[in-house]
Chains A and B, each alone.
Chain A
Amino acid sequence: MLGITALVPAEVIYACRENAVDLNNFVPFSEFQPDDKLCAWSAIWRELILRKEVEVDKLVVVAGGDCYNALVDGEKIELSGIPTLYFIYSFNRDIRLMEENLDSLVEFAGGIKNEKAFGEIADLKQRAMEIDSLRTEGKLSSIKAFEIEISGSDLMGSPDKYGKAIEALEEEDVDFDYRVAILGIPPIYKGFHEFLQSIGLHVAYDEMPFEFIRHSGRNLGEVAESYVNYTFAGNIWRRMEFVEKQLKERNIDAIIHFQQFSCHHKLEDIILRERFADREGYPYITIEADLPGSTPEQARLRLEAFAERLAGV
């Protein structure tokens, strides 16, 4: 198993005949409380590996672009003897940097042995994009769509399994009052989308999970050209441009900015708020989480009040 700590082109990993596992999958369900931490996400997957609760043979740490905190957590794992690669996204869409990082990834994962995997995964992601459209049209709950999109990072450990999970989904009529967008880091709380649905909020746009299915390519060059546009890792102006288009296309009524204690993305709140709340007029709420678990009562209260305010009662 090759562990990844954030978005790393999974098609490359599978083309090298390795299996990917996104370590973040374990975090929302973990009860471990790390003392030595900035962000709970990276501190918890670090501990899960060091304590051998999750077994990986190799690790790819995203240490630049969308996440900076993971750097030292990765070094601690490397010190424990697990081969570790540091993957850096370009801030300025520098295609050469992207290609260099991809070359290192190929080498780290043992070289490309199954070129076919690129095309197969590109097709799967195409299917996942259709799932995303269904949720936007209100024909699939955001709970199910989120599950598929967030799993786009590691394809559930096997493209086969991922394909089956997509095929198993059926259209349904979703009942909701408002269409909301979640911007920022995916919620560290388990059942967050379920809670939103229970108060009539349908997540019609999940910013980061959507990025997990949006990028692919039928060969290494195409992969580089696609992932270089990973908005969450690049500069915020391009990201906001992209987000604004999504908000409009998906008829979003309101924005939830989800942020994580100690994460540099937290500092973006004021920029996003200024653009989307003050300038564009979207109702906007910021939720900040630290440790995983179920959604705390105070966050529930704020979100429920947010829904009541949307109704104008």
Chain B
Amino acid sequence: MIIGLDVGSRAAKAAYYTDSYEYRIVSSHSWQDLIDRDGIIVSTGYFRKKVPHELNVTEITTAIYGVRHFLKEDVDAIVDIGGQDTKMIDMRRNDFRMNDKCSSGTGTFLEYIANYFALDVSELQNFHFRAKTSAKINSTCSVFAQSEVVSRLVEGYSKEEIINGIHHAFARRIAQMLPGNARMIALIGGTAKNKGVVDAFEKELGVKVLVPPDPQVVNAVGAVKYYLATERDG
């Protein structure tokens, strides 16, 4: 068995491969729970060197392998929206960027907003699609966004419209990282499970957004694929 083990800043993901894949996701602090069986471990994510492994590789590389596994289309860019940071891989120029300065444009920002409305992040999408219009939110800096949210509430916008607006601001923020001529992108990472984010991406960016079936385990699968591609022949 090959175990692709992606221990990120927020969640630990495992892809177990024998002849088909099986997945598990736990909190980062409980990563040990994922290696309760024997196998060759290929690690990735921030903690890739802190966990047992035969081979370790960055999540930039695993994202490329994982996306190729799940999607048959050649995307122009991959955007991995994790808990702590967002990584953009420009597939045509073999270049990548990260927003690593603050939590704007990352999963943590949406958790912060969900928390403000006493919701779970997984509920944000339901509110997004119930909105009739979108409240204009300019900032995705957690501090400024909160004051904008309060202003919009005072102006009479509903929770739904504000959450919809937050998703649009979020997409615009990440759009700044994208190469200008991108037509088709893959969205991965736990935050891509939020269909409201995907919807906002398509509307704001005017690009085709592809999301693998479980976007959060793409890097874990990519770690397995990387092992298969590099170790078996060499």
B33 within 8 A of A: no
Complex contact B58–A304 (CB within 8 A): yes
B61 within 8 A of A: yes
Nearest-neighbour CB distance to chain A for B55, whole angstroms, equals 11
Nearest-neighbour CB distance to chain B for A258, whole angstroms, equals 15
Q: Which B residue's beta carbon lies closest to that of A277?
A: B95
Nearest-neighbour CB distance to chain B for A310, whole angstroms, equals 9
Q: Which of B46, B94, B226 sits near A297, CB closer than 8 Å?
A: B46
A309 within 8 A of B: yes
Q: Which B residue's beta carbon lies closest to that of A303?
A: B58
Complex contact B46–A309 (CB within 8 A): no
Whole-angstrom distance between the alpha carbons of A7 and B166 in the complex? 48
Given contacts A305-B61, A308-B58, contact A298 B85 (CB under 8 A): yes
Chain B binding surface SS class: mixed
Complex contact B94–A308 (CB within 8 A): no
Whole-angstrom distance between the alpha carbons of A313 and B94 in the complex? 11
List the B side residues contacting A283 at CB < 8 Å.
94-95
Nearest-neighbour CB distance to chain B for A190, whole angstroms, equals 19
Complex contact B96–A301 (CB within 8 A): no
- Residue pairs across A and B with CB atoms within 8 Å: the count is 35
Q: Which A residue's beta carbon lies closest to that of B101?
A: A288
A302 within 8 A of B: yes
B18 within 8 A of A: no
Complex contact A308–B46 (CB within 8 A): no
List the A side residues contacting B58 at CB < 8 Å.
301, 304-305, 308
Contact bitstring B82-119, A, C-beta under 8 A = 1, else 0: 00010000000011101010000000000000000000
Complex contact B100–A313 (CB within 8 A): no
Q: Which B residue's beta carbon lies closest to that of A290?
A: B101
Nearest-neighbour CB distance to chain A for B224, whole angstroms, equals 14
Contact bitstring B49-74, A, C-beta under 8 A = 1, else 0: 00000000111110000000000000
Chain A binding surface SS class: helix
Complex contact A298–B98 (CB within 8 A): yes
Q: Which residues of chain B from 23 to 60 have a CB within 8 Å of any chain A CB?
A: 46, 57-60
List the B side residues contacting A308 at CB < 8 Å.
57-58, 60-61
Complex contact B226–A309 (CB within 8 A): no
Complex contact B46–A313 (CB within 8 A): no
Whole-angstrom distance between the alpha carbons of A56 and B95 in the complex? 45
Q: Which of B57, B58, B95, B229 has the most CB of A within 10 A?
A: B58
Complex contact B96–A305 (CB within 8 A): yes
Q: Which residues of chain A from 272 to 313 have a CB within 8 Å of any chain B CB?
A: 277, 283-284, 297-298, 301-302, 304-305, 308-309, 313
Complex contact B230–A305 (CB within 8 A): no
Q: Which A residue's beta carbon lies closest to that of B65?
A: A313
Q: Which B residue's beta carbon lies closest to that of A286?
A: B97
Whole-angstrom distance between the alpha carbons of A152 and B98 in the complex? 35
Nearest-neighbour CB distance to chain B for A255, whole angstroms, equals 12
Complex contact B98–A313 (CB within 8 A): no
Whole-angstrom distance between the alpha carbons of A305 and B95 in the complex? 10
Complex contact B60–A305 (CB within 8 A): yes
Given contacts A298-B85, A301-B58, A304-B58, contact A309 B96 (CB under 8 A): yes
Whole-angstrom distance between the alpha carbons of A304 and B58 in the complex? 7
Q: Which 5 residue pairs across A and B have the least CB separation, nearest first? A: A305-B60, A305-B58, A298-B100, A308-B61, A304-B58
27 pairs of residues in contact across A and B, judged by CB atoms under 8 Å? A283-B94, A283-B95, A284-B95, A297-B46, A298-B85, A298-B98, A298-B100, A301-B58, A301-B59, A301-B60, A301-B98, A302-B98, A302-B100, A304-B58, A305-B58, A305-B59, A305-B60, A305-B96, A308-B58, A308-B61, A309-B60, A309-B61, A309-B94, A309-B96, A313-B57, A313-B61, A313-B229
Known: A302-B96, A308-B57, A309-B94. 9 other contacts (CB 8 A): A298-B98, A301-B59, A302-B98, A304-B58, A305-B59, A308-B61, A313-B57, A313-B61, A313-B226
Interface residues of A (CB under 8 A from B): 277, 283-284, 297-298, 301-302, 304-305, 308-309, 313
